[in-house]
Structure 1
Amino acid sequence: MGGRGRSRTQRKHFKQDRENVWKYSSNSNADKTTDNNTADNNTNNSENKVRWDPFTTHNAAFEVYYKEQGIVAPEEWDTFMEFLRKPLPSAFRINSSSQFCSDIRSQLENDFVKSLQTEFSGEDEAAAIRPLPWYPENLAWHSNFSRNQLRKNQTLERFHEFLKLANEIGNITRQEAVSMVPPLFLDVHPDHYVLDMCAAPGSKTFQLLEIIHRTNESGSLPNGMVVANDVDIQRSNLLIHQTKRMCTANLIVTNHEAQNFPGCRLSKFHHDSSIVEAENGLSINQLMFDRVLCDVPCSGDGTLRKAPDIWRKWNAGMGNGLHCLQLKIAMRGISLLKVGGRMIYSTCSMNPVENEAVVAEILRRCGDSVELIDVSSELPQLVRRPGLKKWKVRDKGLWLSSYKTVPKYRRPGILCSMFPSGRNDVDSSEVLDGPVVETCIGNDGEMANDSALNPAKTDAVSPSEADSLPSCDVDDDDVSSLPLERCMRIVPHDQNTGSFFIAVFHKHSPFPVFQENDAGAIEPMVNDNEELTKLGVEDASKVDDLLETKLCETAPADDAETDATSLDNEALKLGDDGSDDQGASDNKEPSPAKVGIKRKLQVQGKWKGVDPVLLFKEETVVNNIKQFYGIDDSFPLYGHLVSRNSDTERVKRIYYISKPVKDVLELNLLAGQQLKIASVGLKMFERQTSKDGNSSACRYRISSEGLPVLLPYITKQILVASLVDFKHLLQYKSIKFGDFVDAELGERATKLELGSCVVVLKEAHQEVSSPPKMDSSTIAIGCWKGRSNINVMVTALDCQDLLERLDTRMGTPNDRQTESHNVEANGVAATNDIEMKDEGTTQTDMNE
């Protein structure tokens, strides 16, 4: 297998700068000033220096568009635009499942808030850090301090360093305030299966994992899980990098188009799925979710405050070009949602074509099976505005009030679903008299709409032209009759945030079967008893099974690459633009020879460029690990370990998975490896490759990520250290047995077996020699017992953070230089013959 240098994931993209940040541009010729009177430009470079100007914060087309849509009242417009042109305040969220959650919140409330209030007394009150009033339990905070202030003021510099370290460790997550809102309305429980369809960069995924773990019983893993998906492999790597700070065994990261996310339905591949379930002990026969977060790709104009380059790029065609993709993704999310489940549809756009229009079309297509929930009573301190019930569509400089006003040649590109009523009032027999322009987005994710791809071809206008553009009043009858006021739109000037749109759906009944009417529009079939009886179904709850059966009958049984999701999308007409790609093949009868034949399972490693997920079944190794650490039998170790290397002799990292993740992995294998898994599991054990590692009775050490999960079940290789010795280990990384302040600790260390061990911080009134009682609140670190030393196997950042947490909790001085112990004098920083660092896992680490 390839090593680090030959990794098949583009790790280099982690360090690429993003374009959309508040910075000065060096590319615009308009920003360059040159003294034209200078004769010799080569000799007088000072006269040819580039003048750096910030990004423009004006776009006439943007202002015309949103004034016409009535996003805010006319009297609020100036204030609305004023806030859009200001940089966004920084915000962060405390990890509610962190061991030090209460300590960090207390430090913010009692240390930083008071010191900063003293420092900035009499100045702008808005600059002080403070909790977001609408986020529960003071777990989310924001600040208006600029980067320049953070660097120049000593108190702010200490606060900034605190934020950077806590974010890197995973104790906090730096996240835009409005981005924190959608997971709060999802009502996630610890036993829920949750799908985050467009998850990168991972802040909301991290938030969902927090909720699952925090509400779970202490000392046990949740019975739920999160599947975080993103179509782009580079963004998936960023997602993995973000979520690995959570140290969870209840996460799967996948790499799929959201609109084609696999359902892994066993009935498609097996003649009798119930037999398969019984034989394999599976609790599921298809991948369905209790909660779905559908935060779709959008034009992003709600992020103008943090991404000012959007001012230059924005045009109305961007929203039109994304409408079709957004609808496809949302409909796929609804189809993967269990009956009784909840789905959030959200965007960071203010455009009603991307927001209310998509929500309205979902309700029209799903009929009574889906309800748009009113959540106005939840989070009462969050200021939000109701969704719009009427709006217009802008295309090629024209305002379109209803579908019948769309020019004939633009009708294939401007869909009736973009308008409030969603009606197609045009005679389908009319012949188009112009070129067909497709606005939907293909499987490669690229927009085919020329206005979305080329800003030069859009309806960009100058201020002088803005008032002379043609306009159409919204027809009185072209107003949505659906309860779109239950949606919520967050605007910047209400609470000094970015902009966001959120809609909450509840699924009441199985997804209806869709059909085309005479005009070519999509409508649900009647789900009454008489109609179902004609279809051979006695119960409405079996509609989904009927649909899947019909799909299986039309699918070639020997086509190993056929994706159930793509067939689902065709049958349900998800995001259909009137074309029929299946053609006459839909009417073909299945070959009698192929009916009832089980599909041949795919071998592991189906997906190119992604290492397979393999259950680690080497009982000799597992037994050795279990015996060496004295792992209690109550901890489910067998069947819960996986690796990414098919060569069992070269497995370096062993990952632990929870039961729900295990069930999904087994289902995926039986379903033909439909899921493309980029990351799974919690790194629990890592092979020690040093000289001492080869001499140890157990070559696998406990990873620092997996230690909190395994700690309550370990009975061997444990040392209990006093506070002073524990801090010395964190500070100096390596201490000889004879140099511990507590001589008894050194004696106990010599009696341990050579290899990995755990050092636990002694609690108050606890005897050092007594067996420790460990739970989720116990503070411990992974170490290596060498021939003469105890060596810390934790990253330098983890050591620094833990030292600061202990100083804060114990009220001890923060000056490390005052330590009087003679550790350095005795040369305790010796022994470099083993690796002193427990490296964080990235996708590169997994591709062994």
Structure 2
Amino acid sequence: MGRGKGGKSRTQRKHFQENRENVWKSKRPKSDSYSDPIPISNPYETQNPAFDHYYKATKEWDAFVQVLRTPLPAAFRINSTSRFCVDIRSQLENDFMHSLQAEVAEGDNTEAIVPLPWYPENLAWHSNFSRKQLRKNQTLGRFHEFLKLENEIGNITRQEAVSMAPPLFLDVHSNHFVLDMCAAPGSKTFQLLEILHQTTKVGSLPDGMVIANDLDIQRCNLLIHQTKRMCTANLIVTNHEAQHFPGCLLNRNCDKMEPNRQDQLLFDRVLCDVPCSGDGTLRKAPDLWRKWNTGTGNGLHNLQVLIAMRGVSLLKVGGRMIYSTCSMNPIENEAVVAEVLRRCAGSIELVDVSSQLPQLIRRPGLKRWKVCDKGKWLVSCKDVPKSHRGVVLPSMFPNGGSYQDVVDSLGDDIITDDVNRNSEDDVQAAENPVMHEFIEEDSDFPLERCMRLVPHDQNTGAFFIAVLQKISPLPAIQIKPRKEVGKPVDTANPGNEDVQELQINPLESIPEEISEANINDNEPNAADLKVSSVAWEEVDFKEAQDPCKVENITKNTPGKRKLQFQGKWRGIDPVFFFKDEVIINSIKAFYGIDEQFPVSGHLVTRNNDTSHVKRIYYISKAVKDVLEMNFSVGQQLKITSVGLKIFERQSSCEGRSAPCAFRITSEGLPLILPHISKQILSASVIDFKHLLQYRAVKFADFVDAEFGERATNLMPGCCVVVLGEGNRAATGPPQVDESTIAIGCWKGRGSLTVMVGALECQELLERLLMRLDTVTEKDSSMHEDKPSDDKGDEANGKNEDEVEVTGC
């Protein structure tokens, strides 16, 4: 990654939360009708001659391109693990479906919002209003505010409809280890975490976990921001090139290893949603129209193959991988899948999932396509001029092959003639393949099992999905290097001029020479192909290596990129297991945490100085195992975020004087709530609502005097208030289940102060009004007026804007 002026990183130059310019925000006549097409005067023209030339042969071209030139309708998904999941779905079905229908243009039979018929349990919804209309149309204001609030809290995720499909075909179970190779911005990662937690009981964690990776540290920050709303202890966010993702291979002969311990990091499921030209998102990002060209897809092809191969190498036998793009280009789609199947030599199977999600309208994958290079159509690798063979790779064609095979089969005379061919004849033959001597190819692989989701089938964007199953270990792949003209054969090593052995551990790295995609049509692609032998997985080293001295592993391997083994990545805070027993025991004693909640070995921090630790994170057993493995191999994983923030130190004077210096965070509260027996109260509906409304209430001002008295008797510091039933709080220990609503508070000298952000307080109040029957408020003279302006001693040392906003 390049560095900016003055040595500043990208994240310092531009914060990830800055909004990208809305390219649909153009000066044009106002209209409330969502069916109005984009006028030709739009500065972002929705036309591109090169695009038309490339896709003109598409079936139903007119319908296809007409839909592409209209804005993308908004879509969103309800978080299935949210405690308000049923309430939100009911609100959409019984409220918004009817109230928004009046905004549909007269005479139009389309529904304003509808659940996606193919998504399970009506949890995903499609709106026939564009994002711009939701922002600009005042009559849609309530619905827009609903979407913004619930998205910020984490109850819904605004996501393109077709982007929701890949995780559903991955068949994730709660015990699976899942790798999301190119995860940012995080919508699919959030979806995978939902599926992982779906069958988990309150207060417990699934046995599986997700590693979400992205190359760009700025996009990793966006990924962390998105997934933080999920409140999960089963996630690790990493910052690596996907094609070089570490395998964390341990030495099988190391005496320090446990006998039954996994010795390499492999996954049950891999989501390989690779970087692509993105022409399936033209409706959402119309600025791509003017940028589109065939060189982008051609240049990304090799990188996509490398990432996909890395994905299958990290997959367990019997595991499943999704290869997907938001592109319609077969060079980035079917050609990549065919090349992966070709290299894997029968160890990977393309799965037929046509019977799954039957209501999702899809088209079969292509078995025949041509390659376009600078406006010229090429039907076979035999058709590629010699000067362009560094850019147009054999793997881009349906039957693959190699240029060496072309030389062997056709002879040097025909190949040399490519250079001297009359340019006018060359163009004519390429643009009219019928006149050419080579015929179009059909792939031998069952590529019709791939799925193409096209815009005009269901008024969406475009997407490509292929489901791959690993049925046996991958073979070592022999690749013959190109013979260079005029280069003498090495007579000192006869027989080795065609194949050279490189001792490369594929679970550690892929050679640097083939790591980059060349997107420039005018420059040769160095990836064709300097590597002669790559064993993609399961390599036994001839020399035993001590994992405690992992810097020796393949230290002198030619062509292997240098790995970092410092134990601390530059610019990334290291991860430490938190082992301060004094602090841990004080937290357990203060909150009465039972022994069923595992604490030892499950707490981590990013600061090794325990006296200055501000935040403590909780990790699941699966994440704990991965971290221990990562330490064993020299911290090869560059971890940007891990675990669930569960405790946070209070820095104010009140916090320092409290018996326990750490409070329970709102993110960690749902996990630990069933396991605490101290510092917890049950409040009546009225008192709970007043806490949310006024944020600080004196003990004497509570409606239920008994509740106020119990609050007075609590130890100073953090406490938890659980919503009870009726006008009086329960006297016994609160009963906790999936529907329990609780908030963190601070018990000061004379009041309780809510330690929840304003947005969550607002959302909780709205949900209470919908979920609960109207409660007759007694003694209302006190409650209609706002209680004392006392802010509860400002115990937490924060103003309202600084109070942490949570996503649970």
Same fold (TM over 0.5): yes
Match of residue 40 from structure 1: none
> In the alignment, does 2:73 pair up with 1:89?
yes
From 603, 612, 633, give the equivalent of 1:650.
Answer: 612
Match of residue 218 from structure 2: 234
The answer (yes or no) to whether the contact 2:322–2:465 under 8 Å persists in 1 is: yes
- Aligned-pair RMSD on alpha carbons? 3.3
Distance in 1 separating the partners of 2:782 and 2:456: 55
Match of residue 846 from structure 1: none
> In the alignment, does 2:23 pair up with 1:21?
yes
Shift of the 256–808 alpha-carbon distance from structure 1 to 2, 3 Å rule, reads same
Distance in 2 separating the partners of 1:289 and 1:566: 17
Is the deviation greater in 222-231 or in 110-119? 110-119
Match of residue 504 from structure 1: 467
> In the alignment, does 2:106 pair up with 1:126?
no
The answer (yes or no) to whether the contact 1:563–1:674 under 8 Å persists in 2 is: no
The answer (yes or no) to whether the contact 2:684–2:728 under 8 Å persists in 1 is: no
From 232, 238, 257, give the equivalent of 1:276.
Answer: 257
The answer (yes or no) to whether the contact 1:253–1:677 under 8 Å persists in 2 is: yes
Amino acid at match of 1:373: V
Amino acid at match of 1:10: Q
The answer (yes or no) to whether the contact 2:683–2:729 under 8 Å persists in 1 is: no
Match of residue 186 from structure 2: 202
Q: 1:314: how far off?
A: 0.4
Amino acid at match of 1:365: R
Shift of the 706–823 alpha-carbon distance from structure 1 to 2, 3 Å rule, reads farther
Match of residue 835 from structure 1: 798
> In the alignment, does 2:527 pair up with 1:577?
yes
The answer (yes or no) to whether the contact 1:8–1:609 under 8 Å persists in 2 is: no
Amino acid at match of 1:426: V
Shift of the 67–274 alpha-carbon distance from structure 1 to 2, 3 Å rule, reads farther
Structure 1 segment 374-389 matched on structure 2, within 5 A? 374-389=352-367
Match of residue 352 from structure 1: 330
> In the alignment, does 2:119 pair up with 1:135?
yes
Shift of the 291–765 alpha-carbon distance from structure 1 to 2, 3 Å rule, reads farther
Q: 1:811: how far off?
A: 4.8
Structure 1 segment 238-277 matched on structure 2, within 5 A? 238-267=222-251, 272-273=253-254, 275-277=256-258
SS of the residue 2:585 aligns to: helix
Match of residue 400 from structure 1: 378
Shift of the 811–114 alpha-carbon distance from structure 1 to 2, 3 Å rule, reads farther
Match of residue 622 from structure 2: 660
The answer (yes or no) to whether the contact 2:74–2:131 under 8 Å persists in 1 is: no
From 377, 383, 406, give the equivalent of 1:426.
Answer: 406
Distance in 1 separating the partners of 2:510 and 2:290: 40
1:9-43: CA deviations, max 9, x gaps? 538422444357323399xxxxxxxxxxxxxxxxx
The answer (yes or no) to whether the contact 1:22–1:54 under 8 Å persists in 2 is: no
Distance in 2 separating the partners of 1:94 and 1:289: 27
The answer (yes or no) to whether the contact 2:323–2:465 under 8 Å persists in 1 is: yes
Amino acid at match of 1:189: H
Q: 1:790: how far off?
A: 0.4
SS of the residue 2:677 aligns to: coil
Shift of the 200–841 alpha-carbon distance from structure 1 to 2, 3 Å rule, reads farther
The answer (yes or no) to whether the contact 1:409–1:434 under 8 Å persists in 2 is: no
Q: 1:283: how far off?
A: 3.8
SS of the residue 1:298 aligns to: coil
Shift of the 819–636 alpha-carbon distance from structure 1 to 2, 3 Å rule, reads farther
SS of the residue 2:794 aligns to: coil
Q: 1:389: how far off?
A: 0.5
TM-score scaled by length of structure 1: 0.80
SS of the residue 2:329 aligns to: coil
Q: 4+ residue stretches of structure 1 with deviation over 6 A?
A: 431-436, 466-469, 568-576
SS of the residue 1:770 aligns to: coil
Match of residue 763 from structure 2: 801
Amino acid at match of 1:483: P
Q: 1:777: how far off?
A: 2.1
Distance in 2 separating the partners of 1:7 and 1:737: 50
User: How many residues in Structure 1 have an aligned counterpart in Structure 2?
Assistant: 727
Q: 1:220: how far off?
A: 1.4
> In the alignment, does 2:470 pair up with 1:481?
no
Distance in 1 separating the partners of 2:101 and 2:510: 60
Amino acid at match of 2:162: V
Distance in 2 separating the partners of 1:390 and 1:305: 27
1:598-618: CA deviations, max 9, x gaps? 552688742100000000000
The answer (yes or no) to whether the contact 1:165–1:801 under 8 Å persists in 2 is: yes
Distance in 1 separating the partners of 2:428 and 2:92: 50
Is the deviation greater in 490-499 or in 826-835? 826-835
Q: 1:151: how far off?
A: 5.1
Match of residue 565 from structure 1: 508
The answer (yes or no) to whether the contact 1:95–1:172 under 8 Å persists in 2 is: yes
Match of residue 711 from structure 1: 673
Structure 1 segment 66-85 matched on structure 2, within 5 A? 66-68=55-57, 72-73=58-59, 76-85=60-69
Q: 1:691: how far off?
A: 1.2
Q: 1:368: how far off?
A: 1.5
Is the deviation greater in 101-110 or in 508-517? 508-517
Q: 1:649: how far off?
A: 0.9
Q: 1:132: how far off?
A: 0.9
The answer (yes or no) to whether the contact 2:376–2:431 under 8 Å persists in 1 is: yes
Distance in 2 separating the partners of 1:175 and 1:256: 25
Amino acid at match of 1:64: H
Amino acid at match of 2:670: P
Structure 1 segment 334-353 matched on structure 2, within 5 A? 334-353=312-331
Distance in 1 separating the partners of 2:21 and 2:282: 13
Match of residue 305 from structure 1: 283
Shift of the 518–156 alpha-carbon distance from structure 1 to 2, 3 Å rule, reads closer
Distance in 2 separating the partners of 1:657 and 1:276: 22
Distance in 2 separating the partners of 1:741 and 1:828: 17
